[in-house]
Amino acid sequence: MKRLLQSLVGVGVSVLAIWLTFRGKDLGAIWLAVKEGDYSYLPLYLTTLGVIHLLRTIRWGLLLEPIVKVPFARLNAVSAVGFTALLILPFRLGEFARPYLIAERPRLRVSAALSSVVVERVADGIFMALLLLVTLFAVPEGTPHLGEIRKAGYLMAALFGGLLGFLVVAYVSRELAVRWVTRLLTPFSPRFAARAGGMLDAFIRGLRLMPSKRKVALFVALTAVYWTLNAVGMLLMARAFALDLQLVEVFTILGVLVAGIMIPAGPGMVGTFQLACAFGLSLFVPEAVANTRGVAWANVLWATQIGFQLLLGAVFIFSPHINVARIFSSPEGTAEALGDEEAEALASERGGSLPGSGGPPAAA
């Protein structure tokens, strides 16, 4: 029932976003723009998407390396299927898929893998929020919707900045962070507060395993290259629809897009992707262009990215590194695993052990 409700709400958000994207626009003109696009740019764009996938896979591996160096073949398969699950499952529940698929106890626990994904997401959010705020200086004052987009940029920076601050506190003092969260939730549900505190404790234990300064610098560099390639790919496809954009403008649109798809929606970010992309584009092109070629561009970008990721997931789902049954059970399974890991950690601190908590070394 919970998943059904999540799915229905997500689909409702997508339907609303699609309606807003196409409201008052000439559907015939949009379809004509789609058909008249110059798709000679498409192979190069698909190549860009392939490089982007490799970069984010390598980048994730850097965060996992202090715990265990995962072979690239396994890391690549899990990344491909995990990001596909992110598209399929509503409300971004697919974020749990990668940690749950990559974890192999006792060497690599779910908590440590989940911590790496959270750090990755916070780094991406801060990078794009700051980039959006900087690139908005290229937009002339008085441009319609500029104020709303700036507010979204500030909100995004505040959100991810707050998460970063919490991660820093958690890294420095695990007990303090757990106590804060437990006290905050206890008035609503003491049982849930205790459970959440235990899960958070296991999560922070994984968070404290961070890469070296050199690997952190490499992670930051790969993050910059990763997002730059995203912008370059969007710019290539903008050329396919005769949209006269500069790279700094595409970075602004990308920032708006990232903010837009943070809104939980239906599978594939359908609706929120197109609406955010077209909304960002409206800052730089005439309304008539944004409502025809711009909407066509946004939809082709979405369809190409979704198709590429689904194909990648379909190929790697048959990999021996993937346990298919884990994909759809990952949200609940991750919570249970975090609870188990916390119990194991407490038993270890007291010099005891838990039945069945051991096992052979993970086969990487």
Compute CA distances 192 → 182, 183, 339, 342, whole Å. 9, 11, 12, 15
Residues 6+ apart with CB under 8 A from 176: 169
Proportion of the chain above pLDDT 70, given as a percent? 84
| Mean per-residue pLDDT over the chain, rounded | 82
Quote the CA–CA distance of 27 and 31 in Å, as a whole number: 6
**HSE of 247 in the Cβ direction (CA atoms, 13 Å)?**
7
Average pLDDT over residues 123-150: 83
Quote the CA–CA distance of 98 and 91 in Å, as a whole number: 16
Confidence tier at 314 by pLDDT (50, 70, 90): very high
Place of tokens 């990308």: 254
Quote the CA–CA distance of 126 and 123 in Å, as a whole number: 5
Residues 6+ apart with CB under 8 A from 185: 192, 193, 196, 197
Which of 251, 211, 224, 52 minimizes the C-alpha distance to 119? 211
Burial 231-260 (b: 16+ CB within 10 A, else e): bbbbbbbbbbbebebeebbbbbbbbbbbbb
Compute CA distances 59 → 15, 149, 201, whole Å. 34, 29, 25
Q: DSSP secondary-structure letter at 210?
A: -
**Residue 354 pLDDT:** 30
* 17-75 tens-digit pLDDT: 899 889 989 999 999 999 999 999 999 999 999 999 999 999 999 988 888 888 999 99
Which of 108, 122, 335, 340 minimizes the C-alpha distance to 220? 122
Rg (CA), the chain: 22
Residues 6+ apart with CB under 8 A from 250: 231, 232, 234, 235, 238
* 163-222 tens-digit pLDDT: 888 888 877 887 888 888 888 888 887 777 777 777 777 767 766 666 778 888 999 999
Confidence tier at 2 by pLDDT (50, 70, 90): low
Burial 198-226 (b: 16+ CB within 10 A, else e): bbbbbbbbbbebebeeeeeeebeebbeeb
* 243-289 tens-digit pLDDT: 999 999 999 999 999 988 888 888 888 899 999 999 899 889 898 99
Quote the CA–CA distance of 297 and 351 in Å, as a whole number: 60
108 φ, ψ to 5°? -125, 105
DSSP string over 211-275:
--HHHHHHHHHHHHHHHHHHHHHHHHHHHHTT----HHHHHHHHHHHHHHHTS--SGGGTTHHHH
Contact 11, 266 (CB under 8 A): yes
The domain spans of the chain are 16-349
Contact 30, 295 (CB under 8 A): yes
* Strand residue runs (E) in 102-216: none
- Amino acid letter for position 143: T
**Residue 151 pLDDT:** 84
Residues 6+ apart with CB under 8 A from 37: 240, 241, 296, 297, 300
Quote the CA–CA distance of 360 and 354 in Å, as a whole number: 15
Quote the CA–CA distance of 321 and 316 in Å, as a whole number: 9
Q: Which helix (H) or strand (E) element contains residue 360?
A: none
